Structure 1
Amino acid sequence: MTHQVLLSLLKGYKRPNEKVHDLRRKGILSPVRKGLYVAGPALGGGRPEPFLLANHILGPSYVSLDSALSYYGLIPERVFETTSMTTKTSRTFHTPLGTFSYTSLPLPYYAFGIRRIGLSEDQYALIAVPEKALADKVISTSGLIIRSRKAASEWLLENLRMDETQLRELNTRIMGEWLKDAPKKTSLQMLINAIQGL
């Protein structure tokens, strides 16, 4: 819930900002970041899912990179920060509910390969499809330039420790359709070639 929504709900109060502060003090509201709140512990409700929070902490955004790759079971590592892509400036938020990082992408590439998923009861979030999460990983990894199919295979199988069987299931045709608008076109083409060669 945003601060503006709270103020509209509390418009009958002479000092709505003081009422918001009082609700925070009583544990009815918990701040996530400036201007964004969730139900506090005094209400006894569950916490919002991290992916849902990520979509709301900074928008527009969608969950991608390691968070999405881990969600799909494509990488073995546990992820301790929720990673997303945005059209805005890259930034990181350290909140009481976790760390949320955002990496900037240009339009129209940003808009490709996003789906809405159900996380739990009445909670939905925008997340990259597996192919987009992997492409985003290539694009956003600083210093990563893939110049050959062999280098791409090594990066996928040794660096990321991805499973060949799962990689073969990725839709390289749709990845190819994104190329003309994507940063790091050559690296992405080598990635596609490597996956097709598995």
Structure 2
Amino acid sequence: MDFRYLAKQFNNAPFTRQVMLDILKDYKRPNDKISELIKSGDLILLKRGLYMPGSNTDLTTPEPFLIANYLWGPSYISLETALSYWGLIPERVFEISSVTMKLSKKIKTSVGRFAYRFMPSPYYSFGIRSVELASRQVALVATPEKALCDKIISTAGLTLRSITQTSNFLMEDLRIDREGLQKLNLKELNS
């Protein structure tokens, strides 16, 4: 049976080891088949036990945000990545930044770099949205307000003691324009 045909039904997220074993259940030695698929370019190893379709297949590849959610979880896209996604900062982001309840970590894969920052449990769960990035591909992303709070909290040495300091940090350091700041939900920021 062809791997591409079998994998189509699981094609909305990275393949976990369990999914791969289910896809290859008719093979006597599924681990050997996984190795063969990686060598042929039909499968890309993201990390041990996590794979995605290779460029040699006609399968849809998972969105980078979705890959980030799977690589080190539980996690959600936040910080500069989410601020850029929501259009609050003008810079393009080259490393996907996420927040997690696990230890902080950086992961480099063949599809990009991923950074994870620890946040404590009660703070972690507030302000997260499920965002559909592509057909049947949904990732967890911080709301604009949550991403901004995450950025402020995680910036080392930052102490905001006045409106002027806060304004300078937001508009000069992060380069968020006034219009972007006015769109933020103040009730969500206050809570």
Which structure 2 residue ranges, 5 or more long, are not aligned?
Answer: 1-14
The 5 Å alignment of 1:108-119 reads 108-119=122-133
* Amino acid corresponding to residue 92 of structure 2 in structure 1: R
- Please state whether the residue corresponding to 1:89 is helix, strand or coil: coil
Instruction: Give the C-alpha shift of residue 9 in structure 1.
Output: 3.2
Which structure 1 residue ranges, 5 or more long, are not aligned?
Answer: 178-198
The 5 Å alignment of 1:142-153 reads 142-153=156-167
Q: How many residues align?
A: 177
Match of 1:92 among 101, 106, 113: 106
Distance 1:135 1:102 in 2: 16
* Aligned position for 1:44: 58
* Aligned position for 1:125: 139
Asked whether 1:157 is paired with 2:171, we answer yes
Asked whether 1:79 is paired with 2:93, we answer yes
- Please state whether the residue corresponding to 1:41 is helix, strand or coil: coil
The 5 Å alignment of 1:49-64 reads 49-64=63-78
List, as ranges, runs of 4+ consecutive aligned residues in structure 1 with deviation greater than 4 Å: none
Distance 1:33 1:86 in 2: 18
Instruction: Give the C-alpha shift of residue 66 in structure 1.
Output: 0.6
- Please state whether the residue corresponding to 1:30 is helix, strand or coil: strand
Match of 1:135 among 149, 172, 179: 149
Instruction: Give the C-alpha shift of residue 55 in structure 1.
Output: 0.8
* Aligned position for 1:67: 81
* Aligned position for 1:192: none
Distance 1:169 1:39 in 2: 38
- Please state whether the residue corresponding to 1:82 is helix, strand or coil: strand
Instruction: Give the C-alpha shift of residue 16 in structure 1.
Output: 1.8
- Please state whether the residue corresponding to 1:144 is helix, strand or coil: coil
Distance 1:4 1:118 in 2: 24
Distance 1:55 1:173 in 2: 27
Mean alpha-carbon deviation: is it higher for 161-170 or for 11-20?
11-20
Give CA deviations for 1:113-135 in whole Å, capped at 9, x if unaligned: 00011111221111000000000
Distance 1:149 1:34 in 2: 47
Distance 1:173 1:6 in 2: 44
Give CA deviations for 1:47-105 in whole Å, capped at 9, x if unaligned: 21111111111111110011100011100111001110001000011000000111010
* Amino acid corresponding to residue 99 of structure 1 in structure 2: R
* Aligned position for 1:24: 38
Match of 1:14 among 5, 28, 50: 28
Distance 2:187 2:135 in 1: 34
TM-score in terms of structure 2 length: 0.88
Distance 2:159 2:109 in 1: 33
Distance 1:92 1:145 in 2: 26
Distance 1:45 1:142 in 2: 42
